[in-house]
């Protein structure tokens, strides 16, 4: 699992470099397709100092398989999402500034930029506040996420998921950028919110046309 663990570390460091997290906040995980095991960041450790062995390996119920570190306090949330979403193999939980600010207003983040429609495909819901690291937070997050790519956590942050850790990270980035643009747009004037039809059309186009395809 060394390669999986390294990907988790690299993602956490990248999130820190891009300002999606501060200090040791946030948490990141990747599920191995062969074993189903989850590699997740340890609790309260400096991401710059992490070695692959520091990343904890557990099953989807949170039982530790390998590693001597204490796993992230949000391990129950990651595990419950994986249990509910067989299509998800990567999770990013960030505390990025604009997404968290929007979540603290208890409002849905509307789609006003094509990039959010293309990657996430729809407005991003905000779920009610629940204590950090609690089973209640895990349950409300998994339920609120449902089959979506991202959800905002009231007074807390953002959870983004994907078919792999790289795409989960991309979703976290685009939600933060969209929250930033929405903030500025709302303060400039009347926002033009994209319709559900527009979002579906752009998402289909992006899935079919955008990026490289294997021959």
Give catalytic residue positions: 74
DSSP 100: H
Give Cβ neighbours of residue 9 (< 8 Å, ≥ 6 apart).
41, 47, 50, 51, 52, 54, 55
Element spanning 206, H or E:
helix 196-209
Backbone angles phi, psi at 58, to 5 degrees: -140, 170
What gap in Å lies between CA 24 and CA 200, rounded to an integer?
Answer: 36
């Amino acid at each position: 699992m060394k390669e999986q663990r390294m990907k988790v570390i690299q993602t956490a460091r990248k999130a820190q470099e891009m300002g999606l997290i501060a200090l040791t906040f946030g948490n990141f995980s990747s599920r191995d397709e062969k074993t189903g095991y989850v590699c997740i960041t340890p609790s309260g450790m400096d991401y710059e100092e992490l070695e692959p062995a520091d990343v904890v390996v557990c099953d989807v119920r949170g039982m530790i398989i390998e590693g001597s570190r204490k796993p992230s306090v949000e391990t129950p949330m990651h595990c419950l999402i994986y249990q509910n979403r067989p299509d998800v193999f990567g999770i990013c939980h960030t505390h990025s500034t604009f997404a968290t600010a929007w979540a603290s207003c208890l409002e849905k983040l509307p789609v006003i930029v094509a990039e959010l429609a293309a990657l996430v495909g729809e407005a991003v819901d905000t779920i009610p506040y629940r204590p950090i690291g609690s089973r209640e937070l895990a349950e409300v997050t998994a339920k609120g996420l449902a089959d979506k790519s991202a959800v905002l956590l009231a007074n807390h942050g953002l959870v983004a998921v994907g078919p792999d850790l790289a795409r989960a990270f991309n979703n976290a980035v685009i939600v933060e950028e969209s929250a930033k643009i929405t903030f500025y747009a709302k303060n400039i004037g009347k926002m033009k919110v994209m319709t559900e039809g527009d979002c579906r059309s752009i998402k289909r186009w992006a899935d079919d046309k955008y990026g490289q395809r294997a021959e």
